A and B are shown apart, each in its own frame.
Chain A
Amino acid sequence: MKPLLFILLLMPFLVIVEQAMAEQNIATLRSAEIAVEPEAPRLGNEENKDIKRKRNYPMQPPTIPHKTANYRIDLNSNKCLACHSRRQVDESQAPMVSVTHYMDRDGNFLAEVSPRRYFCNQCHVPQGDVKPLVENTFQDVDAILDNKNKK
């Protein structure tokens, strides 16, 4: 009987928390009622300049400097590797994927891109010239060192 009583006592608080979350839209990014089809947002123009962006830290996966709309990656085909794989770079003159992508997690080299690296857009994403949705306070390591030295 005790646990049930505990839950019952907790109920009002849960409701309050839930409401607060709903107001801030934290629980879901879907802004419309579940049965309502919201208006489709306008698609931003993906950057297509083919100019590399700076990396914010040495291990950062490089961002994609071109459009990738309609590129398919599935069990049968991988459009990214059709240009960026070891065998294609002479033809495409695209940068080859890093050697780490040909290693399994124990550091053994493979003939093909490792399955754990196969889905490129898990780490690499195209860029758009848009206003950030949330404020970003990220500081480059150089900036942090500078600040420290000044002190």
Chain B
Amino acid sequence: MLNKIKELWGTISSPSRYYSFGILIIAGFVAGVIFWGGFNTVLEATNTETFCISCHEMNDNVYQELKSTIHYTNRSGVRATCPDCHVPHDWTDKIARKMQASKEVWGKIFKTISTREKFLAKRKELAQHEWDRFKANDSLECRNCHDFEYMDFTRQGKRAEAAHSTGLAQGKKTCIDCHKGIAHELPDMAGVEGWQ
């Protein structure tokens, strides 16, 4: 076994006998493109709503709830899908989020939220993770669609205008502080700041 490894190392470390330097560079480049492309394709495939709701946990709970909200149907016909709100656009952040998602795969295998009851029991914790994330990134995913710069206050309701031109404009609050539960039903809100 050890000999075999030594032999392999010998082949890898010695200069190429048959192929020119140029060919090797090109071959390496092509292989890299294929690998990179494949990687990103898989990444994109997991970044669709169809993928998210292929798990019954997501399909039966949060997706059904989303359907009755303004982010699913509205007069303008613009839709927000799961990754729009839950996956960062920026590549490094996206990879970081995907690494976190490995925990969700774990949860799937061990059925931590496989029934509605289990899901509801865990909901507060799951929601808290999302609130913390939005709070930390200043509700970046919301802002990808709702840009504060382009909000026409004269077109908003009075209460919306009042809140947006004070707390939000001064940067003291971010979207998620005031807009929890816009896409799904809420967990027990007792003890959550700003509720009751």
Do A and B assemble together?
yes
Per-residue B-contact encoding for A71-89, CB less than 8 Å = 1, 0 else: 0101111110110010110
A50 interface residue per 8 A CB criterion: yes
A76 touches B188 (CB 8 A): yes
Judge whether B6 is part of the interface by a CB distance below 8 angstroms.
Answer: no
Q: Which of B69, B187, B194 has the largest count of A CB atoms less than 10 A from its CB?
A: B194
A50 touches B196 (CB 8 A): no
State the total of A-B contacts with C-beta under 8 angstroms.
44
With contact pairs A66-B157, A70-B69, A76-B187 given, residues A91 and B194 touching in the complex (Cβ less than 8 Å): yes
Q: How many A residues touch B, CB cutoff 8 Å? A: 22
**A74 near B157 (CB under 8 angstroms)?**
no
Whether, in the assembled complex, A48 has its beta carbon less than 8 Å from a beta carbon of chain B, the answer is: yes
Question: Which secondary structure dominates where chain B touches chain A?
Answer: loop
- Name A88-118 residues within 8 Å CB distance of B: 88, 91, 93, 112-113
Is the CB of B181 closer than 8 A to any CB of chain A? yes
Query: Which B residues are in CB contact (< 8 Å) with A66?
Result: 157-159
Q: How many chain-B residues does the 8 Å CB contact rule pick out?
A: 16
Contact of B185 among A76, A78, A85, A112 (CB under 8 A): A76
Query: Would you list which residues of chain B between 130 and 164 have a CB under 8 Å from chain A?
Result: 157-159, 162
Quote the shortest CB–CB distance from A31 to chain B (angstroms). Answer: 24
What CA separation (Å) do A50 and B156 show in the bound complex? 12
Q: Which residues of A contact B (CB under 8 A)?
A: 48-50, 66-67, 70, 72, 74-79, 81-82, 85, 87-88, 91, 93, 112-113
Query: Given A50-B157, A72-B186, 11 more contacts at CB 8 Å?
Result: A49-B158, A66-B158, A66-B159, A72-B181, A72-B185, A76-B189, A77-B188, A81-B195, A81-B196, A82-B195, A82-B196
